[in-house]
Structure 1
Amino acid sequence: MMKKHYAYGAALVLLGATPVANADWSVTVTGATDYMFNGVSQTNNDPAFQASLDYAAENGVYAGMWTSNVDYGDDADQELDGYIGHFVQLSDSLSLDYGIAYYSYHGGNDSSALNYGEAYSKFAYSWAQGTSEMNFWYAWDYFGTGAGHTIVEVAHTISLAENHALRFSADSSNSLDGDKYMWDVDDTSYQHYKVAWLTSWMGFDIEVAAENTTLDIDTADERIVLAVSRTFAF
């Protein structure tokens, strides 16, 4: 996933929803009580409005753009991301999603200094007990600091009933160069835990998530986050 999308493709399958990849073009709009990125609020604990434009080809290649408001003080108040990737069904049970994304920031005096690129690969395995995931992200210039950075996530989604699923996930964010970037004093990594209930109603996708991190900052403490989105395919 770049930061935000495609993380719940497995959950959508369990819910019986039609994946966006089945449509050539689609637009998704989302309202959320917070914009959380690996357990850290990007809107200073305030709500977010987000939108994306996506294209998906029959051969699994996809591309798109995504935007959200952010609150980085005087540094930025808007994020705009672009991405291109490839979804491959390796077998009846195993799939691979890989690609590259570029995150750009706007609205501040020197917002472009935060821009950076990231590569990702995600594996999903569907079996009788649900869908298990192993996901990886690597940035070589994290938030423009010049530091390498990785995120590793394990997740599992189970179906509770028709149109209801739970996704459990845990991820670790790690700076590969503490001289250039640290999450906290003498702390180059942290862990994030999340449990999300996923459902849909009258064409709206709904997520209610409880999450927490090992960081000791007020934008990464325990919280409940609600997100409601609607996708329009054409």
Structure 2
Amino acid sequence: MKLQHTTFRPLILLAAMASLPALAEDSPHTFTGNVSITSDYVFRGISQTGGDPAIQGGFDYTHSSGFYLGTWGSNVGWIEDYQSYQSGNLELDLYGGFRGGFGETGITYDLGIASYFYPGEANGAVDADTTEIYAALGWKWFTAKYYYSISDETFGFANSDGSDYLDLSASLPVGETGLTLGAHWGTFSFQNNDAQDYNDWKVSATYDMSKLSKVMSGVTLGVAYSDTDADGGDGTAASAPWTDQNGQDLGDGTAIVWVSKAL
């Protein structure tokens, strides 16, 4: 897939953010950013780029009260290859919410809303833009997060408001080595589109490169394996759910490698 100039809009935003004057250390306002390159953009077990690489980035604002806002973007391929848009190779996300904890219990919470936008020419296809509300609870290394779609057309499926996704994840740091091991299981249920329902799972490992050198501060190297039980095609035609126009099974098991930099 050829990456067009729209792919780099998130990076332009990050560059602008980096030029902002530093805030006082005791300020309640925090701005952070990130940029990454990945061998395959996989979202909830489904490849968004058809196995091609992606350039991604975003930035976040957080207030000491727990309120936060953020944006994130990536190039994608499924809008044209699966959704039949005449043009469109960008995903742009906007999200916000409130997070905090329950005293000294170690239990955390996160409540918010996220919108996923896919600019492009739909050419009569079902609109892929989606908005979800979400709620999460965490304890130590474990997190449970529930997403509920309030869009009539959830990721391009008509009459699908009320679709939901449950994400169960664990992230375990290995001592002071800089290595973190992760595991995830999720289940996606589509309202009025039961044939699209599926489960996905992933195992991962990330390494903090600053453990090797201070000049690598903020750089993380990651590797993962993701798979689903989504109903894919036989490689010859887009005749089954989660198969693109080239017959590629977008939910097939795949290994992913990425490198990211916190700004």
- Report the TM range for the smaller structure's normalisation: 0.7 to 0.9
2:244 equivalent in structure 1: none
Answer whether contact 2:94 2:115 (CA < 8 A) is retained: yes
| Equivalent residue in structure 2 for 1:149, among 153, 156, 163 | 163
Structure with the bigger RCO (C-alpha within 8 Å, sep 6+) is 1
Q: CA deviation at 1:188?
A: 4.0
* 5+ residue gaps, structure 2: 1-27, 210-215, 233-248
1:168 equivalent in structure 2: 183
Q: CA deviation at 1:224?
A: 0.8
2:227 equivalent in structure 1: 212
Q: CA deviation at 1:109?
A: 4.0
1:79 equivalent in structure 2: 91
Answer whether contact 2:196 2:230 (CA < 8 A) is retained: no
- For 1:7-46, list aligned pairs within 5 A: 24-46=30-52
Answer whether contact 2:159 2:191 (CA < 8 A) is retained: no
Residues in 1 aligned to 2:53 and 2:29: alpha-carbon distance in whole angstroms: 29
- For 1:1-234, list aligned pairs within 5 A: 24-71=30-77, 72-73=79-80, 74-75=84-85, 76-92=88-104, 93-110=106-123, 113-126=127-140, 131-141=141-151, 142-143=154-155, 145-147=158-160, 148-162=162-176, 163-178=178-193, 182=194, 187-201=195-209, 202=216, 203-217=218-232, 218-232=249-263
Higher share of residues assigned strand: 1
Q: Which amino acid counterpart does residue 65 of structure 2 have in structure 1?
A: N
Larger-gyration structure (1/2): 2
Answer whether contact 2:36 2:261 (CA < 8 A) is retained: yes
Calculate percent identity across the aligned residue pairs: 27
Residues in 2 aligned to 1:65 and 1:79: alpha-carbon distance in whole angstroms: 11
- TM-score normalised per structure 1: 0.80
Residues paired across the two proteins, number: 200
Residues in 1 aligned to 2:137 and 2:261: alpha-carbon distance in whole angstroms: 25
Answer whether contact 1:60 1:88 (CA < 8 A) is retained: yes
Q: Which amino acid counterpart does residue 230 of structure 2 have in structure 1?
A: L
